[in-house]
Structure 1
Amino acid sequence: MTSSTLTSIEICAGAGGQALGLEQAGFEHELLVEYWSPAVQILRANRPKWNIVEKDVREVDFRLYRDANIDLVAGGVPCTPASKAGKQLGASDERNLWPEAIRMVDEVRPRAAMFENVRGLMDPKFEGWRNETLEALAALGYEDAVWDMIYAADFGVPQLRPRSVLVAFRDEEARERFRWPEPVTPEGSRVSVGETLKDLVSANGWEGADHWATEVATTIGPTLVGGSEKHGGADLGPTRARAQWRRLGVDGLGLANHGVAPAKKHDPNGPFKLNVRMAARVQGFPDIWKIDEVLRKTNAYKTMGNAFPPPAARAMGEAIRAALGPGADAGHERSGQVPVD
């Protein structure tokens, strides 16, 4: 570990979108916790040297890391309690792991914490829940936490994908230095679905690929919905989202098999299904990140379809790194892509 490397612990790691983004921002993971076996397979296939624990977070004793001087604890705690696709039961939902996130902060006492969730968590309905969370953090010394929205499309991802993100710091100086990340690709310069996927959809020589990329799929796409480990995952989202995909020339009612792309004579105006690798690109995963090589279609899509896009996670990680003070970002530059292998 170099002097410029910061350490982190992450819960609910999923397919590794947040972990990869934080790694690119210069964080070294001391521990990743994920209980769903297919997601663990993705993580281990890509980062066999990471300390990945396949366990329910409620069974993990984070006090083991109290003396490790961890810089950041993070997690994409389950979004179902606040998701508009669910019943929005909030704190009463048995899948609500926010108490475990607060417990992790209490037991580890890191310099910073970051937790991401769905946009719905910012609705007025959950104001009381948010306030309780902020009060719990303040009681532990993490005062004046910031809870705001980040949009993946602002960081080169071809879907809006709004996420709520909570950031808290232990030290007042870090809180004062923290600045929410500025968009890299703001509205007006966003990356379209067509330019993102053109090479993949033309893999079989589709004669309509240029027309599709430059005349049809010229905007960002709707937010992908991966479903839960028990439900969903067979298509790109609910009815409204599928209608939006249809306008982009994509049939959202299902996924193509691994590696399948439109045939050479596919109708230039006919919709086609995305395969998992295409969907991963839409999520901001680099092609080197093994997903379809590890799992069958449905589980591969489920693990990746709920991820915090790596470019957005990297932006948040860099903002936190800068706030942690001089030396935290030494030797770490934004320009160029940090290697992922």
Structure 2
Amino acid sequence: MELFAGGGGLAIGMEQAGLESILLNEMDKHACATLRHNRPDWNVIEGDIANVDFTQIEEEVDILTGGFPCQAFSYAGKSLGFEDTRGTLFFEMARAIKETQPKVFLAENVRALLTHDDGRTLETIKSVIDELGYELVEPRVLKAIFYKVPQKRERLILVAIRKDLAQKVKFHWPSPYRKVMTLRDAFYAGELYDTDVPESEGQLYPERKREIMEHVPQGGYWRDLSDDLQREYMGGSYFLGGGKTGMARRLSLDEPSLTLTTSPAQKQTERCHPIETRPLQVREYARIQTFPDNWEFKGSKNAAYKQIGNAVPVNMSKALGHSLVRLLNDIESLEQPTTGNA
């Protein structure tokens, strides 16, 4: 069962690892349309998670997954319990766990959750997980580049096992892939994809911006421009100092992409194609997140970028899915009556 499903990155990875979705909840109408279009048999519940009654689910939920948005809790007293987090999306995820009692749950979040609100946000989450009857595996920040994803992207992963099972089994984190993938792997036929990236729609630069970006080399950024062009492009920011390494950034074919955001041409997080002077197209974006080419995104071009930019990379999800399947198999073998002599 998946919450905050978005455009499907986590769900596809879990499917590829052999898990079956019984319910996916998502609020964004375009993301829901994407999920339904690609997987008509998936049970997609569109709307606010606060309105979903999880007690109505008849199937047994082995695993619950989801990436809840990072929100601060308001502190009246010192430590907060489950009820005190009401009003946040984490509370809704915790409620779903309480109502479905999965054997295991996996939550993903931004790395910043580790230090959010001086670490209090994570402490509250840990205490609520304990109160719900789950044992948290020590959280880890996983780097997508180690899991066959051509992108420098980090996610904090929380895995928790129901306490009646936790002492008998161990969660094994996925092993890193043997090599790091680059944009060349994403855009051309090879180990990641059988074909070159298909043509697709994409944003375009205004004429003057395109002229300036022409001068940025592969892997370069605004500091690689002449001083005149730096001043013109950066405006007032020119005098503020600092690296601003995302500005006027052209990606390099021989490196992984920088983290994708919800749009390829935001001033602070420019993602210019390595060879052509234009923002990355939708299918290029999708490949950097390791979506299959036949996974179609519904809604406008901007809606597609947003769904892709917010996703968990499919190959990283698949690696985590394999770890969860291994854990479930270990749990299942506990439940089998032993026969014969040990």
What TM-score do you get using the length of structure 2 for normalisation?
A: 0.71
Could you tell me which residue of structure 1 aligns to residue 18 of structure 2?
26
Please point out which of 251, 259, 284 is paired with 1:278.
284
1:181 counterpart = 2:174: yes
Unpaired runs of 5+ residues, structure 2, are: 75-84, 190-195, 201-217, 220-250, 334-342
Please name the residue that 1:142 is paired with. Answer: 134
Tell me the TM-score normalised to structure 1 length: 0.71
The answer to whether the 8 Å contact 2:16/2:318 transfers is: yes
Q: Note if 1:53 corresponds to 2:45.
A: yes
2: distance between equivalents of 1:328 and 1:295? 41
Picking from 59, 71, 85, the partner of 1:68 is 59
The alpha-carbon distance between structure 1 residues 52 and 58, as it changes in their structure 2 partners (threshold 3 A), is same
Q: Alpha carbon RMSD of aligned pairs, Å? A: 2.8
Cα deviation code 1:176-224 (max 9, x no counterpart): 4211111114xxx2111123113646969xxxxxxx89x9410001100
> Deviations 1:308-337 (Å, cap 9, x if unpaired)?
1111111111112212234869xxxxxxxx
1:225 and 2:207 are equivalent in the alignment: no
Q: Is the 8 A contact 1:22 1:317 kept in 2?
A: yes
State the distance in 1 between where 2:17 and 2:59 align: 20
- How far does residue 150 in structure 1 lie from its aligned partner after superposition? 1.3
Q: Which secondary structure state, in structure 2, belongs to the residue aligned with residue 100 of structure 1? A: helix
- How far apart, in 2, do the equivalents of 1:181 and 1:238 lie? 35
Aligned to 1:4: none
Partner of 2:121: 129
Residue identity opposite 1:76 in structure 2: G
In structure 2, how many angstroms separate the alpha carbons of the residues matched to 1:75 and 1:191?
A: 26
Q: Is the 8 A contact 1:114 1:167 kept in 2?
A: yes
Larger Rg: 2
Aligned to 1:288: 294
Deviation at 1:155, TM superposition (A): 1.1
**In 1, distance between residues paired with 2:20 and 2:5?**
14
Structure 2 equivalent of residue 298 of structure 1? 302
Deviation per residue, 1:36-80 (Å, 9 max, x gap) = 100011001100010001110011011112x5321011112124x
Question: Which whole-Å CA distance do the structure 2 matches of 1:201 and 1:50 have between them?
Answer: 27
Partner in structure 2 of residue 310 of structure 1: 314
Alignment of 1:35-46 (within 5 A): 35-46=27-38
Letter in 2 for 1:169: I
- Aligned pairs for 1:148-167 within 5 A: 148-167=140-159
Tell me the residue number matched to 1:197: 187
Q: Secondary structure at the match of 2:50?
A: helix
Per the alignment, residue 6 of structure 2 pairs with: 14
Q: Which residue does 2:103 correspond to in 1?
A: 111
